[in-house]
Amino acid sequence: MGNQKSWTLEELAAGLGHFYKEHGRYPTATEVDTFPYLPSARSIERSFGGLVSLRQQLNLKTQLDFRSGAHSSERAHKINKRGHETEQIVYEFLKKIFGKEFVHREYFFTDDRRTRADFFVYDTKQGFCTDVFYPNNRRNLIGCLNHKLNKYRSEYMRQYPVIFLQMNNTISQEILDKLLSKKKKALLNGQYLMSWDTFQNFCKTKRPLKIAAQKYGK
C-alpha cells in the first residue's frame, strides 16, 4: 500500500492477528516497525492514539496485555513522551545547522509506510540519514541496535550513510566503541553508532546546502 492510503481497523486487526498467530502475543512498538503486515508504530500513534488505544478499539485482550505490569500504559506514555522530546532536540539542532528546508523528518525509503528513517539531511554531498533512540542501559542499547541493523539490512536502506544516534548521555562514545569492538554482528559500510556529542561534531564537519545556496545567490 502507498504511504498516502490510510490503514483501516480491519487491516490492522488482520495484521495484529497474524503477529499473534506467529508469536502467541501482540507486538511491541519496535516489533510493529519491522512486521511486514503492519504500518509503523508512529503511524498508529498518530491515527489511533497508540498500540494500547488501538487494541482497546479492537477489543483485543490477552493475559499478556501490555497495559499491566512492566508494560503499563503509564510507562508507555513516558517512553513515547521521552522519544518525542528527544527527536525534537535533534530536529532543532539539525535545523540550526542545515536549515529547515534541508531536514526531512520521517524519510521514507519506499512506499510501504514502514521503511523510514527519523531524519534525512541534505548536504552538499549525498546527504545522510539519522535514526534516533534512547536506550535505558547498555543491554537495552544492544537490543535496540540489533533491531536497527535488521531494519537497515536491505540494500535500498543503505543507499545513504545512516547514523544510529543514541541519546542517553550516560553512555559515552568510548563505551559505544567498546561495545562495537566486541559485537559479533558488526555495522555495515556506511553505518555509524554515535553519541550525541559525537553527532554534533559530525554535523559541524558537513557543508550545508543552505550555505552553498547563499553563496550562489539561490
Helix (H) or strand (E) holding 134: none
The DSSP symbol for 205 reads T
Q: Where are any strands of DSSP class E within the chain? A: 103-108, 116-121, 128-133, 162-166, 191-194
- Please count the other Cβ atoms lying within 10 Å of the Cβ belonging to residue 39: 24
pLDDT, tens only, 152-200:
887 777 788 999 999 999 999 999 999 999 888 889 899 999 999 999 9
Cell numbers for 62: 490477552
What does the pLDDT average to over 66-71? 43
pLDDT value for 102: 94
Higher pLDDT, 146 or 214: 146
Q: Which helix (H) or strand (E) holds 172?
A: none
The residue with greater pLDDT, 45 or 1, is 45
Report the distance separating Cα 39 and Cα 37, nearest Å. 7
pLDDT of residue 65: 42
How do residues 97-154 score in pLDDT, each as one tens digit? Answer: 999 999 998 877 766 555 678 899 999 988 999 999 888 888 778 888 887 888 788 7
Give every CB contact of residue 140 below 8 A, 6+ residues apart in sequence: none
* pLDDT given at position 211: 61
What residues are paired with 103 via a beta bridge? 121
* pLDDT tens digits along 18-34: 788 777 788 888 888 77
Domain boundaries, the chain: 9-71, 82-215
What confidence score (pLDDT) does residue 9 get?
Answer: 86
